Amino acid sequence: MFTSVITGTGAYIPDAIRSNEDFLNNVFYKENGSRIETPPDLIVEKFSKITGIRQRRYASDAFRASGMAAEAGRQALLDSGIDPETLDQIIIAHNFGDIAGNSCRSQTVPSLASRVKHHLGIRRPECIGYDILFGCPGWVQLLIQSEAYFKAGMAKRVLLIGTETLSRVIDPADRDSMIFADGAGACVLEYMETGNSGPGILGTHAQTHSMQEVNYIYLAHSNNPNAANGELYLKMKGRKVYEYALTHVPIAIKNCLESCNVPITDVSKIFLHQANEKMDEEIVKRLYNLYGIAETPPCVMPMNIQWLGNSSVATVPTLYHMVCKGEIPGHSVSPGNVIVFASVGAGMNINAVCYRV
- For residues 97 and 65, give the distance between their C-alpha atoms in angstroms, rounded to a whole number: 7
* Mean pLDDT of all residues in 275-289: 96
Q: What is the pLDDT of residue 85?
A: 98
The answer, yes or no, to whether residue 228 has pLDDT greater than 80, is no
**Chain mean pLDDT for the chain:** 95
Is the separation of the CB atoms in 135 and 348 below 8 Å? Answer: yes
* Mean pLDDT of all residues in 45-63: 94
Backbone angles phi, psi at 193, to 5 degrees: -80, 125
184, 185, 191, 196: CA torsion to nearest 10 = -160
Among residues 172, 13, 141, 6, the alpha carbon closest in space to that of 82 is found at 6
Is the separation of the CB atoms in 306 and 234 below 8 Å? Answer: no
The answer, yes or no, to whether residue 195 has pLDDT greater than 90, is no
β-pairing, 157-165 vs 338-345, is unpaired
* Mean pLDDT of all residues in 30-35: 92
The answer, yes or no, to whether residue 227 has pLDDT greater than 90, is no
Go through the chain and tell me how many residues it has. Answer: 357
DSSP string, 107-168: B-SS-HHHHHHHHHT---TTSEEEEE--STTHHHHHHHHHHHHHHTTS-SEEEEEEEEEGGG
Q: What is the pLDDT of residue 105?
A: 83
- Identify the three-state secondary structure at position 35: strand
- For residues 349 and 351, give the distance between their C-alpha atoms in angstroms, rounded to a whole number: 7
Which of 40-49, 157-166, 331-340 is predicted with the least confidence, judged by mean pLDDT?
40-49
* Mean pLDDT of all residues in 123-138: 97
* Mean pLDDT of all residues in 126-154: 97
For 245-265, the pLDDT digits (tens) are 999 999 999 999 999 999 999
Global pTM reads 0.95
For the chain, domains (ranges, CATH) are 2-193 (3.40.47.10), 200-356 (3.40.47.10)
Number of neighbours of residue 278 by Cβ within 10 angstroms = 12
